[in-house]
Amino acid sequence: MIPDFNKVNGLIPVIIQDAVSQQVLMLGYMNEDAYTKTIAEKKVTFFSRSKKRLWTKGETSGNFLYVKDIYLDCDNDTLLILVNSDGPTCHSGATSCFNVQTSKGFLYRLEQTIHERIGKNIANSYTNQLFKKGINIVAQKVGEEAVELIIEAKDQNADLFKNEAADLLYHFLILLKAKEFSLAEIEQVLQERDK
């Protein structure tokens, strides 16, 4: 997978996307040296058109972009890089350089947080404490949250309904972890049903 850097004066556009949420974070440019450094260090390095030099994203802010996957487009002249970031990507402090507020993909980020809290055995984490109680207690909690959601569905309080729906989703993700399944696997089942 070697990009064609000769098509546009040695620079190719690079789309940066969050590996978990799938949110587009920024667009930058790479020359061959930036690409080689990115591959070697597993941190995104661009060629800065304003500074006229290689620039590793995060070298000043500490908000590095860690490479998870790299895809080359069908014309071999544009890259899509999926990353995990240390913090906001935009210099303004926003998650993305594009002013789009989205919660799409957040469940995957939440799933990742749940796995981290359990995997690191964080003692004061409610998530970890519930998980340690075992599958029966986790499943019971999901049932309780489902009943509470049903009760709120019969009333007209939108805030309470949304909060109970959020509680159910959160506890469902813990149940998935306890059963050693992922949200992506459940999503795949739904996609197969959509045929």
Number of domains in the chain: 2
Instruction: Supply the CATH number for residue 176's domain.
Output: 1.10.287.1080
- Does the pLDDT at position 169 exceed 80? yes
Structure confidence by residue, pLDDT tens digits, 7-43: 878 999 999 999 988 889 999 999 999 999 999 999 9
In the chain, what is the straight-line distance between the N-terminal and C-terminal CA atoms, in Å?
A: 33
pLDDT in the model for residue 104 = 65
For the cut 80, the answer to whether the pLDDT of residue 66 exceeds it is yes
79 and 150 belong to one structural domain? no
Please answer whether residues 12 and 78 qualify as being in contact, where contact means their C-beta atoms are separated by less than 8 angstroms.
yes
User: Which has the closest alpha carbon to 61: 75, 44, 78?
Assistant: 44
Asked whether residue 101 is domain-assigned, the answer is no
pLDDT, residue 101, reads 63
52 and 129 co-located in one domain: no
> What percent of the chain is predicted at pLDDT more than 90?
75
Distance of CA 190 to the CA centre of its chain: 20
Note whether residue 94 is domain-resident.
no
Task: Quote the pLDDT of residue 171.
Answer: 98
CA–CA gap between residue 133 and residue 166 (Å, rounded): 21
Residues 114 and 187 in one domain: yes
SS3 193: helix
Is the pLDDT score of 95 beyond 90? no
Q: Do 110 and 179 belong to one domain?
A: yes
16 inside domain: yes
Check which CATH number belongs to the domain holding 78 and give it: 3.10.20.810
CB burial of 156-192 (b: ≥16 within 10 Å; e: otherwise) equals eeeeebeebeebbebbbbbbbbbeeeebeeeeeeeee
pLDDT of residue 21: 80
**What are the pLDDT digits (tens) for 135-158?**
999 999 999 999 999 999 999 999
Calculate ∠ Cα 92-112-21, nearest 5°. Answer: 45
How, if at all, do strands 79-85 and 65-72 pair?
A: antiparallel
Domain that holds residue 141: 106-193
Same domain, 48 and 78: yes
Find all residues with CB under 8 Å of 130, minimum gap 6, and list them.
137, 138, 141, 171, 174
43 domain residue, yes or no: yes
